[in-house]
Structure 1
Amino acid sequence: MSMRTAWPVRMWRGRPWNPNPLMRVSDRAEVVLRVFAVVVAAAVVPIAGAVGTVSYTGAQVRIASEDAGKVQVTATTTADAKRVLDDTNYAVHQDQYQAPVQWNGNGHVGTATVQVPGPEATGSTVSLWLSATNVPTTPPARPGAAAAEGVGAGLAVLVETWCATAATVWFTGTVLDSRRHARWEREWRSINRPIGKDTL
């Protein structure tokens, strides 16, 4: 019998409702669990897609709201930049500098102390992003940030569900195998005579 023929036959013989008395309850339960795991793994794909779509839509709205009114201006340092200590716990530290700057945005002069690229001297020009209220803010989100967030959310749901399903199947199979081996050992001891007590 070829493998192509044998595989469907083996699957049919392993069905949970097989009337064969040699098929144990644990075997039937394990087959049901594996079938359920396959169904869950397949069903979570559209669910993950829906979660990713919702996350992408929400991220688009949030990013558009956060970036609304942001403008880029050129600011001038009003004093030499000073090095600031990096309070992160990473092994590799990069020098960071801050300097007081002044800018003219929408006819209003503003001042603030911001992070600058390096040890800028007084009078140097730096690029600065301002919010709608004319205060320094972060640059706008990069193109594709909303899509990346949506894909990440969908993949997280997919991978976590698949891992949880696989772990459940593995753990259940391990427990059932342990019980089967223990039962086989008890049955073997019940039919096997101790050494030296064999009778003719």
Structure 2
Amino acid sequence: MQGKLMEVDLGDEVRARNQAMTEKAARRLLGEVDGADADNPDGRRAKKPRLGRDGKPWRPRNRRNSDDIKRDQLVEEILRENRLDVYDVPETQQPQYEGDGDADDRIAEEFRREFMDAMVQRQQKKKTAAPPARAGARKADEEVLKGPKLGGSRNARAAMRDLLLKKEKEKESRR
């Protein structure tokens, strides 16, 4: 019995279901629509909701309809009319270039201009940064307090620190 397939009878219910599916497929090929497919004349199934990792369906994206776009345009127009000229917005003048060969030059010039503007802004930020506090006073304290952190409570260490700083000041005042 090797190499031969045995036919197994699965029952009348399965046979009837297979016949129904075969007939349905044949009608679909001929272009007929039966009652079960009346809700989807294209022959497409209804889309299943996509599920996230937690098993819940994805939330639909908030798409902007035409009413939202019109409202935003109206708001922008009102804001533009009532704009306060607090900030000077420079009008960018685009030089007119002719030909394809000049496009590279134009792009290079724009990049150079933007880069230089950004560099000037960075330099201005560096100039306006506050200078660090006087480092001399802090270094003197650190030199006096060099060494391992000894045990004891925080208050005891603070008292010892104050004592060492006081001794250092007395030494400097004697000089």
The structure with more strand, counted as a fraction of residues: 1
Does TM, scored on the shorter chain, surpass 0.5?
Answer: no
Larger relative contact order, structure 1 or 2 (CA cutoff 8 Å, min sep 6): 1
Normalised by the length of structure 2, the TM-score is 0.25
The higher radius of gyration belongs to 2
Normalised by the length of structure 1, the TM-score is 0.23
The structure with more helix, counted as a fraction of residues: 2
